[in-house]
Every structure is written in structure tokens, then in C-alpha cells.
Amino acid sequence: QVQLIESGGGLVQAGGSLRLSCAASGRAFSTYAMGWFRQAPGKEREFVAAFNGGVGGTLYGDSVKGRFTISRDNAKGTVTLQMNSLKPEDTAVYYCAARRYGISRYQTEYSYWGQGTQVTVSS
């Protein structure tokens, strides 16, 4: 079992930055692929970024590529999403997710989810 707790959400003006963190509890964190997803009101949950376990590797959603960076610290059991050049359309609840063995951009392939943290970008 893996428990995930997100932090770092808040209100920021367009063009600003925020850093989200996800703390994971449980064994073998380094083997888990970690992902970030987001869901805006009235919209489906959307893939943001993922960082593979094991040998590493990253994936990004097209709408955040070049602006967001995902990183992880296996010793601390954390994954971070650095969000720069934020836009109002980035406003959403951001969720951290984990899955064993293999990076994925598909939410149905993630077994563990955090409660989410709200990010609001004002224009």
C-alpha cells in the first residue's frame, strides 16, 4: 500500500510559479512510477507529468511541456512538480498518483491517489 499526500497548492497570478510536493509512504518508493494529474471544474481529469521508477524517465502533457518540471527524491519519498509561467487555464485540483512498474500517462493505470491540492491562477 502507498499513501500519498500533496501540498503546495494555492493562489498565484498568471505568469507566476508554484511548487507542488507529494509525500509517499510505503515500501519500495523508488520502484513506483509517479504521476501528476489535474482536474478543472466540469472537465475530465488530465495527465500532467510522470516520472518513472527504477531507471527513470519522464513524460509531460502537451499543455504543460516546457513550463512544468517533475522531479523525485527517492531517499525522501517525494515527487515534486515545479510549475512556471502559470496560466489561468492551469487552474485545477492537482492529484499525485503512483503505480508499480512502468511510466504511464493514463490515469486508469495508477493504483494509488492522493486527495488533491487546489491550484488557482488568476488573470
Q: What is the pLDDT of residues 65-115, one digit of tens each?
A: 999 999 999 999 999 999 999 999 999 999 999 999 799 999 999 999 999
Residue 55 has what pLDDT? 78
- Average pLDDT, integer, range 1-8: 94
Q: What is the pLDDT of residues 16-71, one digit of tens each?
A: 999 999 999 988 899 999 999 999 999 999 999 999 998 789 999 999 999 999 99
Q: In percent, how much of the chain has pLDDT > 90? A: 90
Residue 26 has what pLDDT? 84
Dmax (CA) of the chain: 42
Is 75 strand, coil or helix? coil
